[in-house]
Amino acid sequence: MLSLIFPSLQSGNMKPVICLGIESTAHTWGIAIVDGKGRVLANERDIYRPPLGWGIHPTEAAKHHDEVGRIVYERALEKAGIGMSDIDFVAWSQAPGLAPCLHKGLNFALSIAKNISSASSSSAKEIPLVGVNHCIGHIEIGRLSSGLRDPITLYTSGANTQVLGFVPGFGRGRGRQPGRYRCFGETMDVGIGNALDKFGREAGLEFPAGPKIEELAKSGSYVELPYVVKGMDLSFSGIVTDALQKLKSKKANLNDLCFSLQETMFAMLTEVTERALAHTGKDECLLTGGVAANKRLVQMLEIMCRERGAKFYCVPREFAGDQGAMIAWTGILMKNAGMVTKNEILPRQRTDDVDVKWM
């Protein structure tokens, strides 16, 4: 069964390759089946939820991934209506993330590849593994679903907050620098999602706190919080500390603080994103990552883009948070571009460390 089809990519008669994608960088265990035409045949996931008042404990999240790994995998195959032997290669989230969680993804990828190879009637069937950078996965699933060619991407997730844009390769011969997604601005401390979750945790809200903060903000009004943009970079942790002090000393109520956190942090993101559009001359803007589910953030970016004549696109909810489809699709792009990766985890790899040979 097709959960989503992108019509622009459905052409040609050849049987498209089938890629199994595994997401495991943090709280989410995701398994997706995507084909070479960009059709998402299945995108199943199970999310680890820490107990109330706790953050994500890496080994607990990894234990979760172990427990649900096989169940989610079988669900994905069933949903896609394919068998194990239909899988041509496996893409897994290699970076960045929590080391114990990344290991679970790699080990699962290795075991799937081995099982398929040994079950195959033709002994030649070898299942390649492609290691994918999770942040680039968020960009590529956004480009796939939107049809945007060369956007400035505002990537807002739990652990990451970055303003990214493709910069082509330059130089000659051995000193040539490959094209990459360059980071024009980013958080200097925590990701925006983690900042919201931290505020929520201390305020007694369940994890993840983002959706609840959005709900409470609807009946809040503005109280002043610090606004921290330095050049193109952002800082969120001091804003959360200030908001929590105001909450605990009863200088402001929870609804007002939820509203003001959103207004302040989202205005900061919009300011930096606009400056990236202005400086690069790009005229497309993509919002991706889990916080892209927030309607107020979408609204602010929509207004900014409309005012400067840029196209704006927000990833559909299914692709906003972490999931396997973004890993599978990026794996397909990398494989088509002839990229080869090592079977090792890279917990600290940056978005701009990765050569982008498919653009």
Residues that bind Mg ion (CB under 5 A): 157, 322
Q: Which of 36, 142, 220, 289 binds ligand AMP (CB under 6 A)?
A: 289
Q: 352 φ, ψ to 5°? A: -85, 10
Among Mg ion, ligand AMP, none, residue 165 binds (CB under 5-8 Å by kind): none
Using Cβ positions, the residue closest to ligand AMP within the complex turns out to be 290
Cβ 288 to ligand AMP shortest distance, Å: 8
Q: Which of 130, 293, 305, 332 binds ligand AMP (CB under 6 A)?
A: 293
Question: Which residues, 6+ apart, have CB-to-CB distance to 190 below 8 Å?
Answer: 159, 198, 236, 237, 240
Measured over all CA atoms, what is the biggest interatomic distance in the chain, rounded to whole angstroms? 71
270 lines the binding site for ligand AMP (CB under 6 A): no
User: Closest separation between CB of residue 21 and ligand AMP, Å?
Assistant: 15
Nearest residue (CB) to ligand AMP, 38 versus 208: 208
H/E run at residue 306: helix 295-308
Supply the angle between the helices 192-202 and 254-280 in degrees, to the nearest 10. Answer: 170
Tell me: does residue 211 bind ligand AMP (CB under 6 A): yes
Rule CB under 6 A: choose which of 322, 330, 334, 341 binds ligand AMP. Answer: 322
Is 196 a binder of ligand AMP (CB under 6 A)? yes
358 DSSP assignment? T
Give the tokens for residue 45: 């996931």
Q: Check binding of 294 to ligand AMP (CB under 6 A).
A: yes
The span from the CA of 193 to the CA of 158, in Å, is 4
Among 34, 98, 164, 209, binds ligand AMP (CB under 6 A): 209
DSSP annotation string for 64-97 = HHHHHHHHHHHHHHHHHT--GGG--EEEEEEESS
Figure out which of the listed residues 35, 140, 214, 263 binds ligand AMP, where binding follows CB under 6 A: 214
Specify the amino acid at residue 197: D
Scanning the structure block, which residue is given the tokens 């622009």?
Answer: 8
Contacted by 291, from Mg ion, ligand AMP, none: CB < 5 to 8 Å by type: ligand AMP
Q: Which residues bind ligand AMP (CB under 6 A)?
A: 157-158, 193-194, 196-197, 208-211, 214, 289-291, 293-294, 321-322
